[in-house]
Amino acid sequence: MTEMTKNEAYLAMFAFLEHWYSMTQSDDVGALLGGMSLLPDGKTYDPAILQDWVDAVEKVKSGEVDARQVLRK
């Protein structure tokens, strides 16, 4: 896999969620996609969504995110 630009990574996340929505018809996922949708000027419909995504990217880049499942007794 090659590295992505921030824009490509955002669109990849959008495509993943769009696919998930097509399978589940989840109202929550649909609402999230609505806020994530891009306006003609390239900004998100919900400006807070973009900042939340940028914050998540920074957490990943700083090593704060570990998605490995840990089974506890």
- Each residue's pLDDT tens digit, 8-27: 999 999 999 999 999 999 99
- What pTM was computed for the model? 0.81
Instruction: Please give the Cα distance from 72 to 61 (Å, whole number).
Output: 27
pLDDT in tens, 18-68: 999 999 999 999 999 999 999 999 899 999 998 999 999 999 999 998 888
Residue ranges of the alpha helices (H) in the chain? 6-24, 27-36, 47-61
Largest Cα span, the chain: 51
Instruction: Please give the Cα distance from 73 to 71 (Å, whole number).
Output: 7
